[in-house]
Amino acid sequence: MEVRWRGVNPPKLGLLLTTINLIFSLLVGIRPTQALEMIVGKIPFLEAVNGSTVLLPCVYNSCIGIRNLYVNWQFNDNGTMQKVCEAVIRDEGVDTHMEIYRERVEFVGKNLANNISILLWNITFEDGGDYTCFGRNPKEKGRNHSAVFRLIVVDELRVVDNTLAILIASAVGGSIAALMGFMLLKNFTLYVLARMEEKNKECLVTSSGIDNTENGLSGSKAEAKPTPKKK
């Protein structure tokens, strides 16, 4: 059976159907990219002293929500990934029960939204390394994401040498003070010169008046000469 669309030529009809099929395929095939995200903070590392207690931060985020979200922490022990803890979060707002597989580890995110952070107590040098926060969301067809946080264990924290910063700050401050002093001196000098110029003008005017008086010009007080007598 041949189907004809009134007013549409067969070549144009084929092109139209192909375009429709392409658009439909694109719409059906669109899936969110990296909808699930695990976040360990803007600074994904920490330097801590041997024997101290540290927080390994991690929160998750999903633009379409979660259902039976699987999360865990793993420690990279010289290339071998060791599971630190794991949990399944059934839904948003549900308390999380974290299974702990390593000593001196405490889950601290149970009462905080989207938070799966953990504490490491009395850390040793063996605790130093990379910790991976992992999540897999079945609601997003098993999409998963992970983030790495590095722990550096040291004998003592390094003292930051601020000598260079202090020298730079002193130089900048001295330059600003010198510039302000120069501007004040310049303004004072201009003020003094202006006052001296005004006094010079006053002296010139006064001197001019005295000279005119002595020469008998207008406004002078010179004595009038007597009129000569006719013979």
**Cβ-based neighbours of 170, under 8 Å, separated by 6 or more:** none
Query: What pLDDT score was predicted for residue 192?
Result: 77
Q: Dump pLDDT digits (tens) for 89-116.
A: 998 888 889 999 999 999 998 777 899 9
How many CA atoms does the CB half-sphere of 20 hold within 13 Å? Answer: 6
Query: Which portions of the chain are predicted below pLDDT 70?
Result: 1-34, 159-162, 165, 201-231
Q: Give the residue carrying structure tokens 């899936």.
A: 31
Residue 225's pLDDT is 55
**pTM of the entire predicted model:** 0.57
CB 57 within 8 A of CB 40: yes
In whole angstroms, how far apart are CA 205 and each of 39, 174, 192, 212, 227?
84, 47, 20, 11, 34
CA 138 – CA 141 distance, rounded (Å): 5
3-state secondary structure labels for all residues of 71-87: EEEEEEECCEEEEEEEE
Predicted local confidence at residue 214, as pLDDT: 53
Q: What is the pLDDT of residue 3?
A: 46
**Domains in the chain: boundaries:** 36-154, 163-205
pLDDT score for 172: 77
Residue 211 has a pLDDT of: 56
**What class, spelled out in words, does domain 36-154 have in CATH?**
mainly beta
Q: Identify the H or E element spanning 37.
A: strand 36-39
